[in-house]
Structure 1
Amino acid sequence: MEEGPMGERIGVFGGTFDPIHYGHLAAAMGALHLAGLDRVIFVPAGQNPLKAGRPITPAHHRLAMVELAVADNPAFAVSRVDIDRPGPHYTVDTLSLLSREYPGATLLFIAGLDAVLEIERWRDYPTLLRRWPILAVTRPGTDLAQWEALRRRLGPELAGRVEILAIPGVAVAGRDLRDRARQGYPLRYLVPDAVAAYIREHRLYQPD
């Protein structure tokens, strides 16, 4: 058990990270600043039940890329909580396990607004929202009409647990990066150099 200082505010950033890129890192840094977090813990997904139809890169590669990406930032850390247990993995269970690992800390879940818009598909989402606030990251100027509709469905108690963070970021999508790597295009300036080198070394995202 890793015990942080009492009252520490920890952002929990879950994702497939296939691969991790500068968009993820900019979102984490923005959340750290705007929400007054003490640190951000990245949690690479093991098996995401909402993405069960898409094959993903083996967990050990995705974990290694996240570790390389955050290595030079003391405010960033990585958790294996989802990778080291059998799936499928649900956010409410992940946060429950991390709450035991960091007693006394306030955990806030970081996710893209696009993911939060599907929260009604998440397992036991009312319990999740009541126990852990969500920081929904989006870019400035994003149309929030879908969020307003969801907010009305959730009601004031649950919707009040979601904070929208408009963070200027890097418009990068994992699917585009995988396609670029598959076609032999460089990933420099889109992912950290160490991550780009890892992808080349292990020939990730190459056609079978």
Structure 2
Amino acid sequence: MRLQKIGILGGSFNPAHQGHREISLAALRLLGLDEVWWLVSPQNPLKSSEGMGEFKDRMASAKKITKHPRIKISAFEARINEPRTAKMLPKLIESNPKCQFVWLMGADNLVQFPKWYQWEDIMDTVPIAVFNRPGYTYRALNGPIAHKYRKNRLFPAADGKPIPQFALTPPPCWVFVSQTAHKISSTHIRNFHDKAGNTCS
């Protein structure tokens, strides 16, 4: 049996939104993935707990917005009580020996990637697909990660054809996917609802 190629989109999903779904659909289409799993974090170590929704509510928002049979919602981080990606990934791989994983992230996350716990271990563990996000593209592609791993970057074909074997490429390797350009963020959604709530009160 061939390995299942799985994209991992980790995050707080506070709340989940169409940008998350757009990245997932692009990953399925362009990277030849079988599924995308959203790993809802109980608490991102780099984010404040202030304003963070209840875990069950964030799981519910993720399930509500996916609406796709090949996008799955997972509480794996909460089950093993490990929100740090570098520590979580080896356990995820060990728990799913028939899967080959790809880490999915927005360009904004590549900009702050040097702040992640043992980020170099993550680069050495799985291929990473970085998705375009307006306002972060230049910094992502000209930042320290892109520079350090410039020889490990793969480039899609000029005609935009998929890279179906990306998940099977030995890390470190990464690719920049330009076909996504969603500006919305969870912070924007929360601020909008806060202002709407204040207006109506």
For normalisation by structure 1, the TM-score amounts to 0.76
Contact 1:10 1:40 in 2 (8 A): yes
Report the counterpart of residue 3 of structure 2 in structure 1.
7
User: How far apart are the structure 1 equivalents of 2:140 and 2:12?
Assistant: 24
- In structure 2, do the counterparts of structure 1 residues 149 and 171 end up closer, same or farther at CA, with 3 Å as the change threshold? closer
Q: Indicate how the Cα distance of structure 1 residues 90 and 103 shifts in structure 2: closer, same or farther if over 3 A, else same.
A: same
Residue number in structure 1 paired with 2:43: 47
CA contact (8 A) 2:14 2:53 kept: yes
Aligned residue runs from structure 1 range 85-104, under 5 A: 85-86=80-81, 89-104=83-98
Check 1:181–1:142 CA distance in 2 against 1; reply closer, same or farther (3 A cut).
closer
Distance in 2 (alpha carbons) for counterparts of 1:145 and 1:118: 10
| 1:69 aligned onto 2:65 | yes
Query: Could you tell me which of 109, 112, 127 is aligned with 2:103?
Result: 109
- Per the TM alignment, residue 153 of structure 1 is displaced from its structure 2 partner at its CA by 3.2
Identity of aligned residues (%): 21
Structure 1 158/31 Cα, relative in aligned 2: closer, same or farther at 3 Å? Answer: closer
Structure 1 contact 140–167 (Cα < 8 Å) conserved:
no
CA-CA distance at 1:104 after TM superposition: 2.5
Aligned counterparts of 2:187 and 2:59: Cα–Cα separation in 1 = 18
Structure 2 CA distance for partners of 1:141 and 1:124, relative to 1, 3 Å: closer
Structure 1 runs not aligned, ≥5 long: 186-204
1:173 paired with 2:185, answer yes
TM-score by length of 2: 0.79
Give the Cα separation in 1 of the matches to 2:77 and 2:41: 6
Q: CA deviation at 1:135?
A: 0.8
* Counterpart residue number, 1:124: 118
1:163 aligned to 2:157? no
Q: Deviations over 1:56-95 (max 9, x none)?
A: 111111011111222x3111101111123435x1112222
Of 17, 23, 26 in structure 1, the residue corresponding to residue 19 of structure 2 is: 23
Give 1:184 shift: 3.0
Q: Is the 8 A contact 1:59 1:83 kept in 2?
A: no
- Matched AA of 2:94: R
Q: What is the identity, as a one-letter code, of the residue corresponding to 1:95?
A: L
Kept in 1, the 8 Å contact 2:16–2:61? The answer is yes
Shift of residue 111 of structure 1?
A: 0.7
Preserved CA contact (<8 Å) 1:139 1:167 = no
- Counterpart for residue 202 of structure 1: none
- Following superposition of structure 1 onto structure 2, how do residues 146-161 of structure 1 map, counting pairs within 5 Å? 146-150=140-144, 151-154=146-149, 156-157=151-152, 161=173
The gaps in structure 2 that reach 5 residues or longer are 155-171
2:106·2:132 contact (CA, 8 Å) conserved in 1?
Answer: yes
Aligned residues: CA RMSD: 2.8
Output one character per residue of 1:17-54: Cα deviation in whole Å (capped at 9) or x when no partner: 11111111011101111111111000111111111364
Distance 1:128 1:168, change over 3 A: closer
Q: Kindly state the Cα deviation for residue 144 of structure 1 after the two structures are TM-superposed.
A: 2.8
Deviation string 1:136-175 (CA, Å, 9 cap, x unpaired) is 1114796435423322234635896121111234321212
